Structure 1
Amino acid sequence: MFEKAVVKMVKESGIFYGAVFIVALITGTVSHFLLAGLAWVGSFRDSHAYLLFFLPILGVLTAYIYQNYGKGADKGNNLIIESIQKEARVPVRMGFFTFIFTILSHLFGASVGREGSAVQIGGVVSNKLGLQLKLNKKNRKLLIHAGISAGFASIFGTPLAGAFFGMEMAYIGKIERNALLACFTAAYVGNFTALIWGTSHSHYHIEELTNITPRFILVFIVASIAFGLAGRLFAYLTHSFKKFYHQALPHFLIRAFVTGAIVVILMLLLQGEKYEGLSLWMIKDAFLGLASVKQALFKLLFTSLSLGAGFQGGEVTPLFDIGSALGSGIATSFQLSPSLFAAIGMICVFGCAANAPLTTIMLGIDLFGAKMLPFYVASAFISYFISGHQGIYTSQLIVRPKSVLLKKHVGYRLSEIPKKGASNEN
Structure 2
Amino acid sequence: MARRNHVDPAQIFRLFYPRTLLAWTQNFDWRITGRWMFYSTIIGVLGALAALVLGELVTLLTRLMLIDGAGYPMPFPKGEGGTDIFDLEQVLQPTRRWLLLVAPTLGGLISGWIVFTYAPEAEGHGTDSVIRAFHRERGFMRIRVALVKTIASALTIGSGGSAGREGPITQIGASLGSWLAQRLRLSERERRLFLVAGMAAGLSSIFRSPLGGAFFAVEVLYREDIESEALMPAIVASITGYSLYTSIERSGTVFVTPRFEFVNPLELLPLVGFALLCAIIGIFYVRIFYGTKRRLFDPLPLAPALKPALGGLLVGILAFFFPAIMGSSYGWLQQAIDGNLPLGFMALLAFLKIIATSLTIGSGGSGGTFAPSLVIGGMLGGLYGEGLHRLLPNLVTQPEAYVLIGMGTFVGGAANVPIATTIMISEMTGSYSLLVPLIFAGVITHLVARRWSLFEEQVRTHNDSPAHRAELLPDLLRQIPVAAVVERVPYFHTVEPGHTLREMLDVFTRTREVVLPVVAPGKGHPPHYLGLVLLEDLQSFLREADALSPLIVAQDVQVPFEAVRLSDTLEDALNRFLETRYPELPVLDERGEIVGFLRPHQLISEYHRALLRHLRHTPEVETRS
Structure 2-normalised TM-score? 0.60
Per the alignment, residue 455 of structure 2 pairs with 393
Q: Partners in 2 of 1:352 and 1:210 — Cα distance?
A: 22
CA contact (8 A) 1:364 1:373 kept: no
Correspondence list, 1:25-64, <5 A = 25-44=45-64, 45-49=66-70, 50=99, 52-64=101-113
CA contact (8 A) 1:275 1:299 kept: yes
Deviation at 1:107, TM superposition (A): 2.7
- The structure that has the greater radius of gyration is 2
Q: Partners in 2 of 1:243 and 1:331 — Cα distance?
A: 35
Taking only the aligned residue pairs, the percentage that are identical comes to: 22
Q: Partners in 2 of 1:238 and 1:222 — Cα distance?
A: 24
CA contact (8 A) 1:232 1:388 kept: no
CA 253–121 in structure 1, closer or farther in 2 if over 3 Å, else same? closer
CA contact (8 A) 2:257 2:431 kept: no
Q: Partners in 2 of 1:267 and 1:51 — Cα distance?
A: 6
CA 256–144 in structure 1, closer or farther in 2 if over 3 Å, else same? closer
Deviation at 1:339, TM superposition (A): 2.3
Per the alignment, residue 353 of structure 1 pairs with 414
Q: Partners in 1 of 2:181 and 2:240 — Cα distance?
A: 18
Q: Partners in 1 of 2:115 and 2:347 — Cα distance?
A: 36
Structure 2 counterpart of 1:21, from 36, 41, 46: 41
Per the alignment, residue 400 of structure 2 pairs with 339
2:121 equivalent to 1:72: yes
Structure 2 counterpart of 1:304, from 344, 351, 358: 358
Per the alignment, residue 295 of structure 1 pairs with 349
Per the alignment, residue 118 of structure 1 pairs with 169
Per the alignment, residue 101 of structure 1 pairs with 152
Tell me, what secondary structure is at the counterpart of 1:397? coil
Q: Partners in 1 of 2:430 and 2:133 — Cα distance?
A: 33
Q: Partners in 2 of 1:230 and 1:194 — Cα distance?
A: 34
CA contact (8 A) 2:51 2:205 kept: yes
CA 364–55 in structure 1, closer or farther in 2 if over 3 Å, else same? closer
Q: Partners in 2 of 1:232 and 1:224 — Cα distance?
A: 12
CA contact (8 A) 1:55 1:264 kept: yes
2:343 equivalent to 1:322: no
Query: Which letter maps to 2:67?
Result: D
Deviation at 1:356, TM superposition (A): 0.8
Per the alignment, residue 485 of structure 2 pairs with none
Q: Partners in 2 of 1:183 and 1:121 — Cα distance?
A: 15
1:57-111, CA deviations, whole angstroms, 9 ceiling, x for partnerless residues?
Answer: 4333333332232153336222211222131531111111111111111232111
Per the alignment, residue 83 of structure 1 pairs with 133
CA 173–94 in structure 1, closer or farther in 2 if over 3 Å, else same? same
Deviation at 1:250, TM superposition (A): 5.0
Correspondence list, 1:249-264, <5 A = 249=301, 251-264=303-316
CA contact (8 A) 1:161 1:362 kept: yes
CA 55–295 in structure 1, closer or farther in 2 if over 3 Å, else same? closer
Deviates more, 1:360-369 or 1:152-161: 360-369
Query: Which letter maps to 2:207?
Result: F
Q: Partners in 2 of 1:412 and 1:236 — Cα distance?
A: 24
Structure 1 counterpart of 2:210, from 155, 159, 163: 159
Q: Partners in 1 of 2:262 and 2:437 — Cα distance?
A: 15
Q: Partners in 2 of 1:252 and 1:139 — Cα distance?
A: 34
Deviation at 1:309, TM superposition (A): 1.7
2:219 equivalent to 1:168: yes
CA contact (8 A) 1:34 1:99 kept: yes
Q: Partners in 2 of 1:387 and 1:139 — Cα distance?
A: 32
2:293 equivalent to 1:265: no
CA contact (8 A) 1:28 1:151 kept: yes
Tell me, what secondary structure is at the counterpart of 2:299? helix
* Structure 1 runs not aligned, ≥5 long: 1-5, 401-409, 414-420
* Structure 2 runs not aligned, ≥5 long: 1-25, 71-98, 390-395, 467-557, 561-578, 582-625
CA contact (8 A) 1:110 1:306 kept: yes
Structure 1-normalised TM-score? 0.86
Query: Matched residue pairs, number?
Result: 402
Deviation at 1:349, TM superposition (A): 1.5
Per chain length, whose mean CA-contact separation is higher, i.e. which structure has more relative contact order (CA < 8 Å, sep 6+)?
Answer: 1
Q: Partners in 2 of 1:21 and 1:316 — Cα distance?
A: 25
Correspondence list, 1:358-369, <5 A = 358-366=419-427, 367-369=429-431
2:206 equivalent to 1:144: no
CA contact (8 A) 1:286 1:338 kept: no
Deviates more, 1:46-55 or 1:383-392: 46-55
Q: Partners in 2 of 1:222 and 1:206 — Cα distance?
A: 25
CA contact (8 A) 2:153 2:367 kept: yes
Deviates more, 1:254-263 or 1:98-107: 254-263
CA 422–276 in structure 1, closer or farther in 2 if over 3 Å, else same? farther
CA 39–199 in structure 1, closer or farther in 2 if over 3 Å, else same? farther
CA 65–378 in structure 1, closer or farther in 2 if over 3 Å, else same? same
2:440 equivalent to 1:378: yes
Query: Which letter maps to 1:48?
Result: G
Tell me, what secondary structure is at the counterpart of 1:220? helix
CA contact (8 A) 1:206 1:343 kept: no
Query: Which letter maps to 2:36?
Result: F
Deviation at 1:299, TM superposition (A): 1.7
Q: Partners in 2 of 1:345 and 1:26 — Cα distance?
A: 32
CA 218–161 in structure 1, closer or farther in 2 if over 3 Å, else same? same
Per the alignment, residue 416 of structure 1 pairs with none
CA 125–199 in structure 1, closer or farther in 2 if over 3 Å, else same? farther
Query: Which letter maps to 1:334?
Result: L
1:17-57, CA deviations, whole angstroms, 9 ceiling, x for partnerless residues?
Answer: 32211111011122123223322332331232215414334
Deviation at 1:168, TM superposition (A): 0.8
Per the alignment, residue 276 of structure 1 pairs with 326
Q: Partners in 2 of 1:306 and 1:79 — Cα distance?
A: 17
Tell me, what secondary structure is at the counterpart of 2:580? coil
Per the alignment, residue 404 of structure 1 pairs with none
Q: Partners in 2 of 1:288 and 1:372 — Cα distance?
A: 16
